[in-house]
Every structure is written in C-alpha cells, then in structure tokens.
Structure 1
Amino acid sequence: MATKPTLPPNKQTQNPTIEPEKRIEEILSYPILLSDRVDEAVKEAESFKFECMEVGKKVGNLCQMLRAAVRLSTSSTTGVSFYDRPLRRIAAEVSKNLEKSLALLKKCKRRSVLRRVVTIVSAADFRKVLSHLDSSVADMKWVLSIFESGGTGGGIVLTLPPIASNDPIVSWVWSFIASLHMGQLQDKMEAANELASLAKDNDRNKKIIVAEGGISPLLKLLKDNSSPDAQIAAAAALYTLANDKEIVTSIIDDSGVPIIVQVLGDSPMRVQIRVANLVATMTEHYPLAQVEFARENVIRPLVMLLSFDIFMDDPKIRGGKQSIHSIVQINKEMEKSLSRPGFGSSLSMHYPEGSTKGGNHRKERENEKPEVKHKLKISCAEALWMLARGSVENSRRITETKGLLCLAKLVETEQGELQYNCLMTLMEIAAAAESNADLRRAAFKTNCPAAKAVVDQLLRVIKESDIPRLKISAMRAIGSLSRTFPAREMRVIGPLVEQLSHSNLDVAVEAAISLGKFACPDNFLCIEHSKSIIEFEGVLPLMRLLRSNEWAMLHGLILICYLAINAGKSVDLERAGVLSAFDGIDRAFIAQHPELKELMPRAIYHLSVFHHSHTHSGLLAQMKF
C-alpha cells in the first residue's frame, strides 16, 4: 500500500507570506494536497453523505482553481513578472478552510459506537464549513480574474473578494499592482495613477502599497522609456509615496536611485520635471537619500538641466577684469566629465550627437514650450536645494560643476519660485561653507568670479527685493560667508545694517543675526567689522530691537554685546544709552540664555573702561548670578 505524503505542520501554513523565500508553487502545493485528502474523506464518509458530497464538489472546484493558479505562475510571459502576493494570502486562507473541512469529514467516517456517541456532527457544522468554502471559491475566482485580466489587457479588476471585505483598499492595491506587473501599457498607466490617488488619501494607504510590493513595478514602469506618459504616471505615484523615511528607504533598497538618475538624464523635459520633483522629495524626507543620489552623481545632470538655455557670459555679472565663463563652455566641460566612467548613469551624455534618443531629446528640449522649460528649472533648483541642505559634500559637488555661476545668474534674471529655490540653494551651500573651511576656501575665495557673482546677487536681493523671505535667505547666506570677507568690507556691512530698520521684524532680526556672525569672536576680523557696523549707524536700530519681542531682544542684545566688547571706545554706544538699556533687561530673561550671562558682564566692563557711568558697578553686580 502506497504511503500517503505527509502534510506539513499547521504552523507553517498559517501565514505563508512570512516566508517570502518560498516559491508560490510550494505555497500552493499544500492546499492542493489537502484537496486530495478531502476527496478521499468524502468517499469514506458514512454519515451526512449528501452534505459531504457538497463539500467535495466545492473542494474539487477549489482544487481546479488552485491548479490553474500554479499553471499561471509557471507560464508567465518573458519580461512579465507574476505578482503572487494576493495569491499567497488567499492560499493561506484556503488552506485553513480546507483543514476545517477535512476535520469535519473525518468525523463522518465509520467508527465505533462509543466514538459516534462522543463525536456529534450537526447540519450547522456543514453550513459553516460550506460558507467558508464559498468564500474561498470567491477569493480564488477573484485572484484568477486579476491575473487573467492583467495578462490579456482586460483592464483593472475592482470587485471585492471576501478576504478583503473588511479592508477593500487591500484588494484595490492588489489589483493595481497586478496590472503594473502583468497588464498592457495603458493598464499600467491607469494603475499607477490609481495608486497615486490612493496614496494621496492617507498615510495608511501608502504603507499598504509599499507592504504589498508596489515600489518595484513602479520603478520598472519609470525605467520604460517607450512611453513618456507612463513614466510620468510612475514618477507621480512614487512622488506621492516618497514623503516618509521608511518609504524612501524602500525605494533605495529596490535600487531606485540609479533608475531615477538614469531617467533624469535621458528623458523628455516633462518626464524630467517629475523625476526632479521625486529627487527633491526623497532627499527632503530622508538625509540618506542625499548620499545615495550623490553616489550616482545626480548633481551634474541637475545643474546641466538648470543651466539649459542660460548664458553666463552676460556682461552684467562679469567678475572684475575676468569674465565669467559662458554656460556653453560649462556644458561642454560637464559633458566631457559625464562621459568618463564612474560619473553616474546620465544616458543623454552617452549618446552620440546623431543617435536617435540623444538627438531626439536634444531637439525636443530646443523646441519645448518656455513654460515647460521654466517648470523644469524650478524642479531642478528645488532638488539641488534639498541635496545641498546640511551636506558639505553635496554642496562641494555643486560648486565643482560651476553650479554657483548658474544659480547666481538665475537669482539675477528670474522671479518667483525659481528665484527662491536658487536662493535657498545658495543659502545651503553658504551654510555648508561656514561649517567647512576647505569648502569655504575652495568655493568662496575673494578673487573667485563665481563667488563674486554670488555675493553680488545676494547683496542685490538684500537691497532691492520687497519680499521678506528672499531678503532673509540672502542675509543668512551672507552671514554664513562672513569669514570670507576682508577687513572693513563696506560693500557687505552697509546693506545689512540698513535692514536693521526694516518694517518687517523678521527681516530686522535676521540682519542682526547675520551681523552677529561678522562681530562674533569666531570671526578673525570681528573688531574691524564691529567698527564698520557702528560707522554705518547700526547702534540705534539695534536699540529699537530691544523693545520688541523676546526673539528680537535676544539677537539685538547679542550683537550689541559684541559691539561693546570689540569697539567699546565708540561714543555711539554711549550716546545710544547702551548701559541704561542693559539696566532695563529683566534678569529672568538673561538667565534663560546662557550666552547672555557670559556676554553682558564683559560688554558692561568694556563700556565702563571707556565711558564714565554711575550705573556700571551696580550692573556688574546684577550680572553675577
């Protein structure tokens, strides 16, 4: 007598998805084996024969569908991946119901009188089992329908299987992802758009899409350059998903960064806009993405796209006697660099001039609408901003690609979002230079044309712009570069001092913060800069800041203390009544800010050395906490 195959333990079949290394054929073999066992139990049943036969019919139907699923999974078309995640979940549920059916049928087998008395089987038990089997049949019909629909181009299936009755979103996600894997191109586009729509609704939907394997097929669709519309749909879905650290990590783990950089380098402009937005949002929400994108050299194609149609040999931004190189020369230099191995995967640089893809995209860019070109520059500037934020290495890469020249020119000639994004990029690069002496010396040397162009535009924004956020960004950048300016730098100090009197308090406070970086002890030329601030009549507007809110008072006090310590001899400080102002500061406020506890006694001491006052002794006593 042939031995029957041994069934695997129940614990191994409860949730097959926890063992992703198992092939789907192995997962399906267990319920198929159970179906055969049920068929044998039907034949051996002595009681409730009619009910047992009904169970057998439904199980036989299930077995046929399970075998059909096996055939589908093993006969996938070349280049088409089989999406088995819903089938794994449904197979686990089917196995549970088949186990229940087998246990019930075994109770109907001939046995001793005592066992028959102890074991009671009722019609209700069969109704319950038949109901479970009906659900499994419906689940299998549904999962087969999405596979057949995907394989034949029949469109997306939006019916609801019983397994997802409590959470319909899961079944929709399964259907959309199956279409991405197995559908025709139009179906894939529709599925990507539907996933983007679901992701916009809430964060839970995003996590479901990622958990059910939606990232990989979206990246594959993005990589497919046969349809720009499909690439746009994929990029839009990924962009909607990528506002969470864990999801960005999933994109990185799925080797998404090389694909994104490749598409950025060799796609029509409308695709590049979406991909640049994707780079920006991934980098914004996860700093590790900065490193990954830098490793794939995304900065060079971004700078090239940002500088498209811009000529840097404009006489308005010439740096002294030496003119700034034109963007044509910069592009030639970057193309030469990109053609070398190890400089990322920007495909447009690898196609010869007459080749189909490179030539066509070049012509498309030249003939593209101005508004599309403008949107692309906005997106690229934002991506560079996010890449530079808090990253010395990426900021250095931008300066090495002549990005400073391009950004300076756009700050000069553009307005609105593009100007703001470029200004914020410059601000981040300046902040990186403030924290890294090597970058500061390399990129912002006094005689460097690029550095001069950047400073010229920052000062122009500070003096001429009516938009507070632009002024604030420009002042922060100038403050970060404070250690690069020579002694008594009238060209920089004067405009900052003027902003101390600005009607917008945030602008005035930012001016004080920036000037504080010129006057602080960390700046080697703090004494010379402090004298310049006083000469530009910066003391009186600083005194007005002391009568504003706590934020303004704090930074106003810090700068006044620096001026007193570095240039206490100045009569302007005495005329402005600085000591009297110090006397009016609440001690509790000073106690909240350790920097003031240290600075104010030193400032009072320096003022008392040069100016006679009856109050300085008492003030010094008050400062001792």
Structure 2
Amino acid sequence: MDDLKASLARPIQLAEQVIKWADEAQTCRQECQDLKARLERLSTLLRQAARADLYERPARRILEDTDKALDKAAALLERCCGHGFVRRVFTIIPAGSFKRASYLLDNSLGDLSWILRVSNYAASDEDDEDDHIGLPPIAQNEPILFLIWEQIAVLQYGGLEARADAAASVVSLARDNDRYGRLIIEEDGVPPLLRLIKEGRADAQESAALAIGLLGRDPECVDLMILAGVCTSFVNILKDAPMKVQGMVAWAVSELAANHPKCQDAFLQHNVIRLLVSHLAFETVQEHSKYAVASKMSIHSVVMDRKSNDSSQDPSGSGERDATAVAAGKPTFGGGGIDASSSSAAAPGPSARPVGMAGTRLHSASISATSMRGREYEDPETKAYLKAHAARALGTLATGNPAICKNITESRALLCFSILLEKATGDVQYNSAMALVEICRVAEQNAELRRSAFKPTSPSARAVVDQLLRVVEKADYDDLLIPCITCLGCLSRTFRATETRVIGPLVRLLDEREADVSLEAAAALAKFACMDNYLHVDHCNSIIDHGGAKHLVQLVYFGEQVVQTAAVLLICHLAHNVPHSEELAQAEVLTVLDWAWKQGYMSQDPVIESLLPEAKIRMELYQSRAYYY
C-alpha cells in the first residue's frame, strides 16, 4: 500500500503542471480551458486518493490509465502553449486530438470516482452501502471483472451486513465457472474472505468458508490460498465457532485437499487433523478427552465426596477446587487419544454419569466449560452436519498420505469410525466408511501403518473389523457394502490364519446379483490369495472350502467382462497356490483357464498375463497325476 501511495506523486505533480500549461495556451484556448476543467477535477480526486485507503488491485490499473491520459493531455497542451509566431503557425493539431484527450480524462475521472467510493464503504452510511455503484469505464470491456472488484471491495471496506451479502455474491460467482473463481483469487479476494471468516456473523462466516472451498478448484489456486493463510483461519474456526460454520470449514478442507493433495501436509502441520477428530469424537465415544471423570464408585470418589461435603460450609470453596484438581489429574482407560489442548475435546461425553457429590460437581464444572459454545444444545441435524464433513475431510486428508493416516489412527478416530459405521445414518455413516477406505488403502501399501494401527490386539482395530464384517455379512446392497468390502481386502495381510470369519462372507458375495459387488468381492479375495500375502495358501484353502470355486466359474462364464477378468485373476491365484485341490478339479477350473487363454481382452491385463500360463501348467500337472493314479 505504501508503494501505491508513492505512485500517486507523479500524476498529482503532472496534473498541476498540465493545468499551468492550459492557462498559458496560445492556440485553441477554448479547447484548452475545457481540458483544464477536467484536469482540475482529476487533480482533486488524485489528492483524495492519496489520503484514502484504496482497494489496491483495481487502483493500480486505474492509476496506470490515468498516467496515460495525463501524458496525452500534457503532450497536447505543451504544443498549444508554444511561444513565437512561427511556432504557432507551423504547429498542426488534429481536430480529434482534444476529443481523444477529453475522452481519456473523462474515463480517468469515472474510474477514480468509482475506486474512491468502493474504498470508502467503511465510512459510508448503511443506505449508501445498498446503492449500486455503477460500472466504471475501466471495466466496460469486461463487466464481470467490475462485479468481482465491487464485491471484493465490499468485503474489505463494508459493514458486517454488506460483507455478508458480498460473500454470498462471491459464492455465486465462484459457482458459475472456473474463470470467475480464478479472477477472484487473482484480484486478492481471498484475504478479505479469511477476515470475514474470523470477524463476521455466523451466516457470513459460512458463506466465506463456502467461497474458499469453491475457489480451490485446481492446485495453483489452492497453493495461493494456502499462502494467504487459509490454514490458520480454518484452525481458529475449528477451535471455536458455531458448529454450522465448523462444518462448512471442514467441507472446505476436504475440497482443498481433494483438489490439491500436496496441501495435506500444511493442514497436518497446523493441527487440523486433531481438531477434526475431536469433532468426530464429540458425543460419539463415551469419553473422548485425555482425562476422564470417574464413572464408578471407588475409594477415591468416596474420599472426594466426603471432602466436598465438608467444603459445603467453606465459603471460599477451596474443598471443591481441591476435588476438581485431583480428579482432573486422574487418567482413565476410557479416555481417548484426542489432544487435550483442544478445548472442544476437554469435555466428557453426555453418557458419563459420575457417582457422588464430588463427581456431580465435577461433571457440572466440565459441562459449564463447554456450554459457552452451546455445543451440547445444538440440534441433531447440525451435529450430524459437522460430523459428516469432518469425516469427509479426514478421508480426503488421509488419501495417499501415511503420515496423516498415522496421525489419525493414533487418535480415537478408528473407534469413532467404527461406532459411526454402526449407529450413524446418512452422510455421517457413508463418509466414515469412505474415510476408512482411504486409511486402509494406505495401510495396504505401508507395513508400518498396518502394524501400528491394525494389529490384531488393538481394540479399535478389532472394533473396525467387527463393523466391516457386520455390513458384509448383512450383504444389503447399499452405499456401505462396497466400501466395507474394499477395506477388508486392503487389510487382508493383517488377518491371522485363525481368523476364519472374514473369507466366508466375501465368498458369498461372489454369488451376488449386482456386478459391482461381485467385482469388489473378487478383488478383495484376490488380495487374500495373492503371493504377497504370507498366508496365501491358508486363505486359498479357505476360499475353496467356502465354495468359492463354483461361484468363480459362474462369474467367468456369465459375468460382465470386467467381472470375468477379476474372477479369472482370483482363479489363477487359487490354481497357482493349491493346484491339487479336488474342488478345483470338480469345478473344471482347467477348462476355465483354457477358455480364458483364448480371450484377447484377458491378455491385456499384465497380472493375468503373468499368472495364467503358470496356473495352467500347475493345474495340468496335478490333475494329470490325479488321473494317472
């Protein structure tokens, strides 16, 4: 801005000089006086601009055009004020020169009047804020640019009501097409949106967060917004704001991360992951704070109850403060892994019921610490709205990022996902399932994450697997079935040989009427049966024991082409690992492999191309021996 102020010095000085030349004009005096009147008004506006706080992006373009107009007028008036008879006689000034100079000066007057007015919203009356400013000459060739400038100017200098309306207008512009969104970013529209997220009313904050999410449509735009401070603003909202606004911010985080995965680490560094998990855990698990209130009668609670009764006569309340301090320092197994520094995660869940007077007082104190935000009293739709978007954001942030997945799984998120998968409905349930899919996909490729997050002895991992199996065993064709199948396939290397309950439900889904379900089930079972899985022989035998061979043969002959390919791939694994199986021989798997060998589209799959010849050789060898004996 200081640089902009300095750039005003030249046009102000030039305008004063040209006004003097207009007074000294020897030829075309009437035309020079007309130009002088415009120049005097322009000089006044330039001096006002030097004292004003201008919207910088259009101001720079307007000053550039004003410089050109002044240079044109200066060149013309300098010729008119030339001294000497001979110079005046031989000076030829075209008739249209004055019209051209007047036109340029009028445009500059209009542009300067516009930029002064839009930059003076903060000092304007409410009635003035509602008036339409009008189209400045600089934007006549591109009216949408003027509209964007006007809304951004209102966001910067308007009152709270006007800024809320401008944020809604920016949302409409950003939704229209990508070009408008890019213009909003290029014209410095992000900083005032972030200020509105921090300072505005709830509806204005929500509109601003929605606009940020809509603007992040490509990696370059997301990078620019990250540099503008989006992460810091979002963290402040996720810590303390109305739940509806927090839900919209969580949605914006998911949009930015989905459109530019490289920004995931920026959100991780700003502790966004832990804040999202805390919102997911709120009223989901019984105790999600690091330090929980005791919920069972114990010697400690009896002692504290006695102390609290004794302190009832103490006007200073020191006994109650002592009880609070002691109980707050007692960790329990029911506590979650949510960061205790987050104030939203410091409150016990609604199902915690402390026993005794001390427990009652402590519980009331804990509730009062968070009731200031009114989180407990929000309607269920708003709570579900926040949880749905928090789960979606965690899923997009976890996509392909082992560090974020580790951060998520070290918290109580897995337990939250398992509970929401069982008890929630709608978007909360679906987004939780999709977040698990992304975490499991990363775990499939990352052995360290598998060992730390999905080890068989982990209670949260067991809870997740139980819920995945519940959905798969239920086998209802809904939005949850395929994500749960995918998760079980990705976790195939975490199951022990003694874990016999996973294969059966997946094999039964091979006989499903819906092609996408059969396809996903075959793909999941292939991860159990492939050579990368240490227990591939055990899993192959389990697949065959549950009747998988006959289902696969039917899929190869009667399924869609993509399903046929997945079924042949799984048959190749079975034939390669357990070629001596009698069930494979009875299902005439060798005939199926011969048929697949002749299908051209099968050879286009590099995995089948590498497995099919060896599978045929093994089947021919073992089945020939069985026939000979």
Partner of 2:396: 386
CA contact (8 A) 2:475 2:509 kept: no
Query: How far did residue 395 of structure 1 move?
Result: 1.1
Cα shift readout 1:56-114 (whole Å, capped 9, x = no counterpart): 110110010000011113xxxxxxxx522222111111111111111111221335666
Q: Note the C-alpha offset of 1:358.
A: 8.5
Checking the alignment, whether the CA contact within 8 Å between 2:121 and 2:159 is kept in structure 1 is no
- Please name the residue that 1:367 is paired with: 377
Q: How many residues matched?
A: 566
Secondary structure (helix, strand or coil) at the match of 2:141 reads coil
**Structure 1: 5+ residue runs without aligned partners?**
1-20, 74-81, 314-327, 340-345, 616-625
Matching of residues 277-356 of structure 1 within 5 Å: 277-311=251-285, 333-334=336-337, 337-339=339-341, 346=342, 348=344
Cα 1:572/1:194, change in 2 over 3 Å: same
* Identical pairs, percent: 38
Distance 1:469 1:122, change over 3 A: same
Identify which of 589, 606, 629 aligns with 1:594.
606
The C-alpha deviation readout for 1:364-402, integer Å capped at 9, x for no partner, is 111111111111111111111111111111111111111
CA shift, 1:469, in A, is: 3.8
- 1:384-533 counterparts in 2 under 5 A? 384-487=394-497, 489-533=499-543
In structure 2, give the amino acid aligned to 1:612.
S
How far residue 293 of structure 1 moved from its aligned partner, in angstroms, is 0.8
Deviation at 1:120, TM superposition (A): 1.9
Q: Tell me, in whole angstroms, the C-alpha distance in 1 between the residues paired with 2:69 and 2:363.
A: 63
Letter in 2 for 1:550: Q
Q: Which SS does the other structure have where 1:569 is aligned?
A: coil
Of residues 249, 257, 265, the one that matches 2:223 is 249
Aligned to 2:144: 169
The 3 A distance-change label for structure 1 pair 561 and 349 is: closer
Which of 198, 208, 213 is residue 173 of structure 2 equivalent to? 198
Which letter maps to 1:35? A
Per-residue CA deviation, residues 225-259 of structure 1 (Å, 9 max, x unaligned), is x6323322221221221232222111110121022
**Matched residue, 2:161:** 186
Name the CA shift for 1:441/1:606 in 2 (closer, same or farther; >3 Å): same
Give the Cα–Cα distance (whole angstroms) in 2 for the partners of residues 172 and 329 of structure 1: 58
In 1: Cα distance, 2:93 partner to 2:208 partner = 55
Contact kept? 1:268, 1:361, Cα under 8 Å: no
Q: Which moved more, 1:302-311 or 1:565-574?
A: 302-311
* Aligned counterpart for 2:580 among listed residues 565, 569, 585: 569
Q: 1:545 to 1:22 in 2, by over 3 A?
A: farther
Structure 1 position 495, deviation (Å): 0.5
Q: Please give the alpha-carbon distance, in whole angstroms, between the structure 1 residues aligned to 2:504 and 2:345.
A: 45
- 1:495-553 CA-to-partner distances (Å, cap 9, x unmatched) read 00001111011110111110000000001110110011000000111112213333212
Q: Secondary structure at the match of 2:374?
A: helix
* 1:49-60 matched pairs, under 5 angstroms: 49-60=29-40
**Cα distance, 1:329 vs structure 2:** 6.2
Distance 2:211 2:607 in 1: 48
Which amino acid in structure 2 is aligned with residue 195 of structure 1? V
SS of the equivalent of 1:45 reads coil
Contact 2:522/2:567 (CA < 8 Å) preserved in 1?
yes
Equivalent residue, structure 1, for 2:322:
none
Q: Call closer, same or farther: CA 1:358–1:292 in 2, change over 3 Å.
A: farther
1:590 shift after superposition: 3.7
- d(CA) in 2 for partners of 1:430 and 1:198? 38
Say if 2:236 is the partner of 1:262. Answer: yes
State how far apart, in whole Å, the 2-side matches of 1:200 and 1:139 are: 28
Q: Normalising to structure 1: TM-score of the pair?
A: 0.85
Change (3 A) 1:354 1:25: farther
**Code of the aligned partner of 1:254:** A
State the AA in 1 paired with 2:457.
N
Note if contact 2:401-2:442 (Cα within 8 Å) is conserved in structure 1.
yes
Counterpart residue type for residue 575 of structure 2: A
- Verify the 8 A CA contact 1:139 1:162 in the aligned structure 2: yes
Residues in 2 aligned to 1:368 and 1:362: alpha-carbon distance in whole angstroms: 12
Runs (5+) with no aligned partner, structure 2 = 288-330, 348-361
**Structure 2 partner of 1:560:** 571
- Please give the secondary structure, in 2, of the residue aligned with 1:532: helix
Cα 1:521–1:87 shift into 2, 3 Å: same
* 2:45 alignment counterpart: 65
CA spacing shift, 1:424–1:362, aligned 2, 3 Å: farther
* Structure 2 counterparts to residues 72-91 of structure 1, below 5 A: 72-73=52-53, 82-91=54-63
TM value normalised by structure 2: 0.85
Quick check: 1:488–1:532 contact (8 Å CA) kept in 2? no
